[in-house]
Amino acid sequence: MTVLEIKREISRLKERDLREVHSHVVRMRHSTPEWRKTMARKLRAVQAGKFVTADKLEARIARE
């Protein structure tokens, strides 16, 4: 089955089935070594205090 065929089939799905396919794709993406490595790196950065609080983000947006 080609990607185009898969897209056509997905476009015909009902809302519930579409949500199920979406969940499956997300689970597949989150099970890759690359994703896990990226998330571990981001978690370490947050634990080290390298993040922006919601208040600081709002202040940045307000200045722009």
Residues 2-26: pLDDT tens digits?
999 999 999 999 999 999 999 999 9
- The residue length of the chain stands at 64
Are the CB atoms for 13 and 21 separated by under 8 Å?
Answer: yes
Give one DSSP letter per residue of 21-43, joined into a string: HHHHHHHHHHTSHHHHHHHHHHH
pLDDT tens across 27-45, in order?
999 999 999 999 999 999 9
Tokens standing for 47?
């634990």
Q: Which of 23, 46, 32 is nearest to 13 (CA)?
A: 23
Q: Where are the domains of the chain?
A: 1-31, 34-64
Average pLDDT over residues 38-59: 93
Distance CA 39, CA 3 (A): 28
